[in-house]
Amino acid sequence: MKNLRRPNIALVLLAILGFAEVRKAHSDELNLSVRSEVKRARFGLNTELIRLQGGTVSLNGIGVQFAFEYAMSPKWGVLTTLSQAMQLTGGLSYFYTGIGAFAKYSVTGSGFETRKLEVLRYGRSIVKQAPQSLQGLSVGAGVEQLIVNGTFTVYPAPGISGLVSYSFPMWNTTTQATLRGGLFSKSDSTFLTFFAGFGFLL
């Protein structure tokens, strides 16, 4: 009995701590959770090239458009716009101010909703997925109201419009190219407008 050695206290403590860490790691694995966040609303900023054609009159312009887009479902969305344009024909001058409301349908790609995933441990975030960008082709139709600067007066011109948009990721955000056409009317005539836009959704 005298030859028995006293156990090394340091080794015993290390063994106990190691066992505790293994149990804690196993417990951590059981306390992992995943949180999914759906993004439905986006704000947009676009630049547009504009051509107005009515009878023998053709006008060209450039404008900026502010947009708000909301996903009603992955495939359906609504879009509201506020536009301001300057006329380039015959010198730079005020062209029109416009507002619009559209219904949109996602033909291909990710749709209008995106999801961001986050892994939680004991309620604290440990891994976050980078926000997704929209990608794909969409079409839409809606109504617009232009306040046009005429030769002698400013007049309202309501109309109907259709659009085709393609969205793709660029610079960690959603980039969007849009072609839009509309038929507008004033008191005694109608005119066509064509728009080519490029911008971003945030």
Domain ranges for the chain: 30-201
Confidence of residue 47 (pLDDT cuts 50, 70, 90): very high
Q: Indicate the Cα dihedral angle 156, 159, 161, 167, nearest 10°.
A: 20
Q: Which pLDDT score, from 0 to 100, does residue 125 have?
A: 75
Give burial (CB, 10 Å; 0-12/13-18/19+) of 142.
buried
Q: What are phi and psi of 179, to 5 degrees?
A: -115, 130
At residue 188, the 3 state secondary structure works out as: coil
Q: How do residues 22-44 score in pLDDT, each as one tens digit? A: 444 444 555 777 777 888 999 99
CATH class, domain 30-201, is mainly beta
Query: What contacts 4, CB < 8 A, 6 or more positions away?
Result: none
State what percent of residues in the chain have pLDDT above 90.
54
Element spanning 95, H or E: strand 93-106
Confidence of residue 190 (pLDDT cuts 50, 70, 90): very high
Q: Which pLDDT score, from 0 to 100, does residue 185 have?
A: 94
Confidence of residue 18 (pLDDT cuts 50, 70, 90): low
Distance of CA 113 to the CA centre of its chain: 9
Contact in structure between 193 and 182 (CB atoms under 8 Å): yes
Contact in structure between 126 and 120 (CB atoms under 8 Å): yes
Nearest CA to 50 out of 103, 98, 104 is that of 98
Tell me the mean pLDDT in the region 78-100.
94
Q: Which pLDDT score, from 0 to 100, does residue 176 have?
A: 96
Q: Tokens 């969205």 identify what position?
A: 167
Residue 113 has pLDDT above 70, yes or no: yes
Q: Which pLDDT score, from 0 to 100, does residue 131 have?
A: 62
Nearest CA to 184 out of 137, 139, 150, 138 is that of 150
Of the listed ranges 27-36, 70-79, 186-195, the one predicted with least confidence: 27-36
Q: Which pLDDT score, from 0 to 100, does residue 29 have?
A: 54
Confidence of residue 171 (pLDDT cuts 50, 70, 90): confident
Confidence of residue 138 (pLDDT cuts 50, 70, 90): very high
Identify which has the larger pLDDT, 35 or 149. Answer: 149
Question: How high does pLDDT run on average in the chain?
Answer: 84
Q: Which pLDDT score, from 0 to 100, does residue 22 have?
A: 45
**Sheet containing strand 114-121, strands side by side:** 32-39, 114-121, 124-128
Query: What contacts 75, CB < 8 A, 6 or more positions away?
Result: 105, 106, 111, 112
State how far the Cα of 165 lies from the Cα of 54, in Å rounded to an integer: 25
